[in-house]
Amino acid sequence: MSSFSDNSEHEAVSNFREYLRIPSVHPDVDYSKCVEFILRQAQSLGLPSNIFYVAPGKPIVIITWTGQNPELPSILLNSHMDVVPVYPEKWTYKPFSAHKDESGNIFARGAQDMKCVGIQYIETIRKYLKEKLAFDRTIHISFVPDEEIGGVLGMGTFVKSPEFSALNVGFALDEGLASPDNSFSLYYGERTLWHLKIKCTGSPGHGSLLHENTAGEKLHFIINKFMNWRDIEKLRLKNSDLGIGDVTSINLTMLEGGCQVNVVPPELCVYFDVRLAIEVNSAKMENTINQWCNEAGDGVTLEFIECKGTQVQPTKLNEENPYWIAFKKQCDTMNLTLRTCIFPGATDSRYIREIGIPALGFSPINNTPILLHDNDEFLNENIFLRGIEIYYNIIKSLASV
């Protein structure tokens, strides 16, 4: 029993709140307290755990429950330990206090994204063990670092390791999003994430003259091309029943350059966050952007920074995927309304799908405002506990495929 529990609180909620109180927040996350907490949970389950370091200071913790037929491909239940930064002055309660109000709303960074899911996995397995259930497939619960900064040194590296291969994963569950209505969102694919830097060089000089071939003119050309592309996608979204995950998003996020207001700079840079819709041919789009750079003039170059996602095929939602059939059957049995979507952001699922393993993103949270990365992020304890019951049926079915 967690030290934070009381007579009126469910043990699972107490464990959840204890996990939320660990400030595993960027930048420079110290994961040691998370690892210590997860190892204690594994010990309380009586299950073995392993810690892998695929990069210095980036632990990956795996709790394993071996199935009756361990040669079968396993089920991976993935979550990430890290959370995004906070603006404490914008929060009603301290963001790492896991304050619970009189309505049972638990306020903390990570309440929705996604410490809830990691604890729900653990508590689901705890119920199985208490009931002395057994399944054919091995179940691994993974806790990974750095998802919130791209996951390159977390799941991105782990999937290429022999340690991951040894897990023999056949299917993975990962995070989804809360749903503000009574339905539940199910994510079967992701857009391709690009972080772009376009550098424009040109003739410097005095700000009183009209120089030819300036960096500013080239920057203006490039920004217009991207903003026109953005306008087209906004119209597609507005004039259809498409969701944000079904279109390409383009956002100008940073500008760099210049030293003084009366000096024409030799270089200006613009940064874009681009998420390509799944039907967009990424190679053709890259060629188009390079063409824009050529049209803008000499000395205009495209660079991918941090993230140049590769185009990954979505997980199939048909009879070819027995895991989907099992998942959907259980949701139908529980009378859950599912909305199948392309995830608007990026999760660790993309690395798993990239190596050919089917993965679904699902957080059993409904009737809750979407507050990941927002101020006053919260999750109601009753929604949290119902999520464990939902996972209880779904994971049991997946482990029996």
Residues with a catalytic annotation lie at: 82, 147
The secondary element (H helix, E strand) that includes residue 269 is strand 267-276
Burial class (CB in 10 A: 0-12, 13-18, 19+), 6: exposed
Query: What torsion, rounded to 10 degrees, do the Cα atoms 376, 109, 86, 344 define?
Result: -90
b/e code 187-203 from CB counts within 10 Å (16+ = b): bbbbbbbbbbbbbbbbe
* Phi, psi angles (nearest 5°) of residue 73: -55, 140
Contacts of 110 (CB under 8 A, 6+ apart): 19, 20, 24, 83, 116, 377
The CB density around residue 161, as the number of other CB atoms within 10 Å, is 13
Angle at CA 351, nearest 5°, toward 283 and 145? Answer: 130
Residue 172 β-bridge partners? 76, 359
Contacts of 238 (CB under 8 A, 6+ apart): none
The bridge status of strand 192-201 relative to strand 378-380 is unpaired
Q: Residue 340 is encoded by which pair of tokens?
A: 């199948």
Contacts of 397 (CB under 8 A, 6+ apart): 326, 327, 329, 330
The secondary element (H helix, E strand) that includes residue 194 is strand 192-201
